[in-house]
Structure 1
Amino acid sequence: MKKIRLGILDQSIIARNSTPKEAILRTTELVKLADKLGYSRFWVSEHHNFQKIAGSTPEVLLAHLAGEAPNIRVGSGGIMLPNHSALKVAENFRMLETIFPGRIDLGVGRAPGGDRPTAALLNPSNTFSEQEFMQQLKDLRAFLTDHQTSESPHENIIAIPQAETVPELWILSSSGGSGYFAAHLGMALSFAHFINPNGGPEAVKEYRRHFRPSDLLAEPRVNVGIFGFCAEDEATVQRWLTEMDFRMLYIESGARGPYPDYEDIIQFEYSAPQQARIKYNRQRMIYGTPAQMKARIEALAADYDTDEIIISTFFDDFEATKKSVELVSNLF
């Protein structure tokens, strides 16, 4: 068994009866804890027009988090590149890398991070095409390294400031498509098992098979993102699982009303299609007591042949979230 490194993905969820400011304060406290416990990296996400998540601007939040936690790598999981100019993303992350050299990760994806109308407002020229995304990736790599090529011919344009080091560049994927982009361009791959629990190991194998070394990365590199929670007692695990079952259905339905209390959730009677969806969604999670969690993390790492797992814990109970982060850290 490889030595497994652990990271955290945090979306700055707004808990019941809480505020966006309190969500950001929770994220700040969590990165400090992760730093203290020795986690390898801490990523934050980009979401838009979703009122229960405060994380809309990773590039802004990361400057704060990196200053609060002096050792851990911090990064985006991810920047939704079609929402932005490749040049501006490069400048944002070169600035972060200049301030915090050797500690910045730039994870990019091609999902909108919200609905299509919102994405169209963020970038009115967005065509949602794979070809445009591929060109953005080529441009981004060129701007970050000052290596302009025929594929990214912007010889008179430099991303400022010119940092002495380069952020780690990751492509986020929940299917095989973006894995091919990562392989072709010689970038690291983060597979979002928490989005799509099917076909990930095969997609990663194809990424490794087609990988082409680049000036950014000599060999293929993979981590896997998963929803996860650990507690010392089964009752707390079951509560998290019950909440997650409902939360996933709630998000997928596009609901925008008040989020019900746990006492109301446990009274719900799910239809057969909802029960089937819950069964599917549980494949996107790992959970359990410490012994169960250790075995499940090791199994996931073995399935993907990776030594790094990124865990996202959606839970209103922040004390239980912090305890989970601590318990998982102790396992490895």
Structure 2
Amino acid sequence: MKLSILDPSPVPSGQTPGDALNQSVELARLAENLGYTRFWMTEHHDLDGIAGSVPEVTLPYIGAHTSTIRLGTGAVLLPYYKPYKVAEIHNMLATLFPGRIDLGIGRAPGGSAEAANALSDNFLQNAGKMPELTRELLQFIDDKYPSPNEHAPLSASPVPEAAPAPWMLGTSRKSAMLAAECGTAYAFAQFMSDKDGAGIVQQYRDHFIPRKLGEESRVIVAVSAVCAQTSEQAENIAYESCKWSIRKEDTSPLTQEEKKRMAEMRQHMMVGNPAEIKEQLIACQTNYGTDEIMIISTILSPEEREESYRRIAKEILQQ
């Protein structure tokens, strides 16, 4: 089993966004040393307690402090941007860090309606054009954009020797089918979905059309996980993580609606000691038929978050 990390750069109480971003760098270095395959950073906008808003800025800094782990946007929210610019950014990353860059593609707003309006005047219209935007982006990534002037082809320079690897991220059959039709790899966010994930992934595999000769379908399943020395410790850490996600700095008693939301969040998490987490990860691997699982964690304590990833790696990667 391969393991990877999806990091939103959480900002716990008493720390600054700068602290959180530096902790992301340290986490990437740790992940590389532990044998994790990829380190992706999320794109969120105007969300309290989350510093990860511009992964394409953070990734070069992380790349300069690592040497082998794959790096990626998880995901760049394509409806906000022109495909040409997205291709230029990722081609530049792939030129700076050869053979290490993944291009995660998503269509979610990643924040409030106010943030979406501030970023784009036509987000909803562009979200409806996701298939066209994705195909245009892939043409630039493949350096095969059709130019009206054959003597002046349009390239998203610099064109790297090894192109960024495109991944479609999603939680629905729509995203799975777009990935299949466009011939990209697919990352299913189980931690955000109540749907039949295994069925969605199978639909992707059944309809996959290779972009290039010999390419095969590839799947990552993203899960939320908290691992500690004991089950009780893991449950306590998960509780505080869920509570922080809902309340941030508010210390007043939880409402019934908030308690319900916390229970729903807990249902989407893998929580336990190392042996229990290993059992849950193997069950996920078997259910989805995938050899790679990506883990996201918003554990408040940077030390406990790193320790969680250490314990999982020791149980899975270092046997």
Q: What is the TM-score when the length of structure 2 is the normalising length?
A: 0.93
Q: 1:304 aligns with which of 277, 280, 288?
A: 288
1:166-188 C-alpha deviation (Å, 9 max, x unpaired): 11100000111111100000000
Q: Is the 8 A contact 1:248 1:281 kept in 2?
A: no
- The one-letter amino acid paired with 1:93 is H
Q: Is the 8 A contact 2:231 2:271 kept in 1?
A: no
The residue number in structure 1 matching 2:175 is 178
SS at 1:141 equivalent: helix
Q: Is the 8 A contact 1:148 1:154 kept in 2?
A: no
The residue number in structure 1 matching 2:194 is 197
- In structure 2, the CA distance between the partners of 1:125 and 1:288, relative to structure 1 (3 Å rule), is same
1:91 has 2:88 as partner: yes
The residue number in structure 2 matching 1:157 is 154
Q: Is the 8 A contact 1:87 1:159 kept in 2?
A: yes
Structure 2's unaligned 5+ residue stretches are none
Q: Is the 8 A contact 1:84 1:122 kept in 2?
A: no
Deviation at residue 131 of structure 1 after TM alignment: 4.1
Q: How many residues align?
A: 314
CA distance in 2, matches of 1:129, 1:212: 24
Q: What does 1:1-332 align with in structure 2 at a 5 Å threshold? A: 4-148=1-145, 156-215=153-212, 218-250=215-247, 259-260=249-250, 264=251, 268=253, 270-271=255-256, 273-332=257-316
Deviation at residue 126 of structure 1 after TM alignment: 2.5
Deviation at residue 106 of structure 1 after TM alignment: 0.7
CA distance in 1, matches of 2:218, 2:148: 27
**Between 181-190 and 273-282, the greater mean CA deviation after superposition:** 273-282
Deviation at residue 248 of structure 1 after TM alignment: 4.4
- In structure 2, the CA distance between the partners of 1:176 and 1:50, relative to structure 1 (3 Å rule), is same
- The one-letter amino acid paired with 1:316 is L
1:7-60 C-alpha deviation (Å, 9 max, x unpaired): 001111111011011001100110010011110000001011113111111111
1:196-222 C-alpha deviation (Å, 9 max, x unpaired): 132211110111111101128711110
Structure 1's unaligned 5+ residue stretches are 251-257
Q: Is the 8 A contact 1:187 1:216 kept in 2?
A: no
SS at 2:14 equivalent: coil
RMSD: 1.9
Percent identity over paired residues: 35
The residue number in structure 2 matching 1:254 is none
- In structure 2, the CA distance between the partners of 1:249 and 1:16, relative to structure 1 (3 Å rule), is closer
Q: What is the TM-score when the length of structure 1 is the normalising length?
A: 0.89
CA distance in 2, matches of 1:217, 1:123: 38
SS at 1:194 equivalent: helix
